[in-house]
Chains A and B, each alone.
Chain A
Amino acid sequence: MTDSLSRREFLGASGAAVGVALTPAGATAAPKGRTAERMVDVTCNVNGRPVSAHVEARTTLLDHLRERMDLTGTKKGCNEGACGACTVLVDGKRMNACLILLAQCEGRAITTVEGIAQPDGSLHPVQQAFIDHDAFQCGFCTPGQVVSAAACIAEGHATSEASVREWMSGNLCRCSAYPQITAAVLAAARRA
Chain B
Amino acid sequence: MIGRSITRLEGHAKVTGKARYAADNNLARVLHAVLVGAPIANGRVLSIDTEAAQRVRGVVRVLTHSDMPRFGAVSFPSAILKLPMQDDVIRHEGTPVAIVLAESLESAEEGAGAVVVRARSESPLVPRDSAGETPVRMGFGEDLNRGDVPGALQRAAHRVEQRFIQPARHHNPMEPSATVAEWFGDTLFLYDSVQAGFNLPPVMAAVFGIDAKNVRVIAPHTGGGFGCKGWVWPHEILAAAAARVAGRPVKLVLTRAQMYANVGYQPLVRQDIALGCDAEGKLAALRHDVVNTTSIVETWTEAATEISRGLYAVPALQLTQRVERVHANLPTAMRAPAEGPGSWALESAMDELALLLRMDPLDLRLANYAQTDPVHGKPWSSNKLREAYAEGARLFGWRERGQLPRHDGPWRIGFGMAACTMTTFRHPAAARVRLQDDGGAVVEAGTHDIGTGTTTILPQICADTLGIDVARVSIQHGDTTLPDAGPVYGSSATMGVGSAVMLAARDALAKVARLAREPVETLDFAAAMRRIGVAEIVGDGRFALPGNASFNADGAGTPDAMRTWGAVFLEVGVDPDLGLVRLRRAVGSYSAGRIVNPLTARSQITGGIIWEWGKATMEQSLQEPRHGRWLAKNLSNVAIPVNADIPAAITVHFVEEHDEHASPLGAKGIGELGATGVAAAVANAVFDAVGIRVRELPILPSKLIRDLSS
B606 to chain A, nearest CB (A): 6
- A172–B11 touching, CB < 8 Å: no
Distance, CA A132 to CA B13, complexed state (A): 14
**In the complex, what residue of chain A is closest to B175 when comparing beta carbons?**
A140
Question: CB distance A24 to B121 under 8 Å?
Answer: yes
Residues of B within 8 A of A142 (CB): 14-15
- Could you tell me if B26 and A36 are in contact, using CB atoms closer than 8 angstroms? no
Residue B169 CB within 8 A of the other chain:
no
CA distance A98 to B258 in the complex (A): 17
Q: Is A117 an interface residue (CB 8 A)?
A: yes
Contacts A134-B600, A165-B644 known; A63 to B226 CB distance under 8 Å? no
Closest to B18 in A: A73
Within 8 Å CB of B227, what residues of A? none
Complex Cα distance, B259 from A80, in Å, reads 14
Q: How many residues of A contact B (CB 8 A)?
A: 84
Which residues does chain B contribute within 8 Å of A20, judged by CB atoms? 39, 115-117
| CB pair A131 B8 closer than 8 Å | yes
B371 is an interface residue with CB less than 8 A from chain A: no
Q: Is A61 an interface residue (CB 8 A)?
A: no
Interface presence of B539 (CB below 8 A):
no
Give every chain B residue within 8 A of A30 (Cβ-Cβ).
49, 52, 114-116
Q: Which residue of A lies closest to B6 (CB)?
A: A134
Is there a chain B Cβ closer than 8 Å to A79's Cβ? yes
Q: Tell yes or no: B222 within 8 A of A by CB.
A: yes
B476 to chain A, nearest CB (A): 18
A82 to B639, CA, bound (A): 11
A75 touching B34 in the complex, CB below 8 Å, given contacts A33-B53, A176-B606: no
User: Is B37 within 8 A of A127, CB to CB?
Assistant: no
Residue of A nearest to B40 (CB): A22
Contact (Cβ within 8 A) A76 B176: yes
Q: Which residues of B contact A136 (CB under 8 A)?
A: 8, 11, 14-15, 451
Interface contact A174-B636, CB-CB below 8 Å:
no
The complex places the Cα of A132 from the Cα of B114 at a distance, in Å, of: 49
Whether A67 pairs with B104 at a CB distance below 8 angstroms is yes
Give the Cβ gap from A176 to chain B, nearest Cβ, in Å: 4
Alpha-carbon gap, A132 to B6, bound state (A)? 9
The proximity string for B residues 5-38 relative to A, scoring 1 for CB distances below 8 Å and 0 otherwise, is 0011011111111111101101000001011111
Q: A37-B106, A67-B104, A173-B174 are in contact. Are A82 and B15 (CB under 8 A)?
A: no
Q: How far is the CA of A131 from the CA of B115 in the complex (A)?
A: 46
- With A75-B223, A175-B607 as contacts: A27 and B17 at CB distance below 8 Å: no
Distance of A82 Cα from B633 Cα, bound (Å): 12
Q: Are A16 and B255 in contact (CB under 8 A)?
A: yes
Of the candidates A18, A23, A140, the one whose C-beta lies within 8 Å of that of B223 is A140
Which residues of A are found within 8 Å of B176, using beta-carbon distances?
Answer: 76-77
Cross-interface CB contact of A22 among B115, B121, B253, B641, cutoff 8 Å: B121
Chain A 16-34 interface mask (CB, 8 Å, partner B; 1/0): 1111111110111111111
Given contacts A33-B52, A114-B17, A127-B16, contact A77 B256 (CB under 8 A): yes
- Report the minimum CB–CB distance from A31 to chain B (whole Å): 6
Q: Could you tell me if B21 and A59 are in contact, using CB atoms closer than 8 angstroms?
A: no
Cβ contact within 8 Å between A33 and B642: no
| Contact status of A131 and B450, CB under 8 A, knowing A20-B115, A140-B224, A177-B603 | no
| A181 with B175: CB separation less than 8 A | no
8 A Cβ contacts from B544-596 to A: none
Tell whether, in the assembled complex, residue B175 and residue A17 are in contact, meaning their CB atoms are under 8 Å apart: no
Tell me the smallest distance from the CB of B669 to a CB of chain A, in Å. Answer: 15
Interface centre among B32, B53, B607 (most CB of A within 10 A): B607
Decide: B118 and A27 in contact? CB cutoff 8 A. yes
* Complex Cα–Cα for A85 and B253 (A): 15
- Docked pose: A32 CA to B451 CA in angstroms: 43
Determine if B11 and A131 form an interchain contact, defined as CB atoms under 8 angstroms apart. yes
Interface residues of B in 623-653 (CB under 8 A from A): 634-636, 640-648, 650
* Highest count of chain B CB atoms <10 Å: which of A71, A127, A134, A139: A139
Q: Known: A35-B55, A82-B634, A179-B606. Is A26-B118 also a contact (CB below 8 A)?
A: yes
**What residues of chain B lie closer than 8 Å to A23, measured between beta carbons?**
121
Known contacts A131-B15, A134-B8, A136-B14; 11 additional CB pairs below 8 A are: A14-B110, A20-B117, A83-B174, A113-B16, A131-B7, A134-B7, A140-B175, A141-B223, A166-B644, A176-B646, A179-B650
What are 26 A-B residue pairs whose CB atoms fall within 8 Å in the complex? A15-B109, A16-B257, A17-B112, A19-B97, A19-B98, A20-B117, A22-B40, A22-B118, A24-B43, A30-B52, A73-B18, A75-B174, A76-B253, A79-B256, A117-B16, A127-B16, A131-B8, A137-B600, A138-B222, A138-B223, A138-B224, A139-B13, A139-B223, A179-B646, A180-B603, A183-B648
The residues of B with any CB-CB pair to A shorter than 8 Å are 7-8, 10-21, 23-24, 26, 32, 34-40, 43, 47, 49, 52-53, 55-57, 97-98, 100, 104-106, 109-122, 171-176, 221-224, 226, 253, 255-258, 449-453, 599-600, 602-604, 606-607, 610-611, 634-636, 640-648, 650
Taking Cβ atoms with an 8 Å cutoff, the residues of A that contact B are 13-24, 26-37, 56, 58-59, 63, 66-67, 70-80, 82-83, 85, 112-114, 116-117, 123, 127-128, 130-132, 134, 136-143, 146, 161, 164-166, 168-169, 171-183
What 8 A-B pairs have minimum CB-CB distances, sorted nearest first? A73-B17, A140-B223, A138-B451, A137-B451, A139-B14, A176-B610, A72-B24, A113-B17
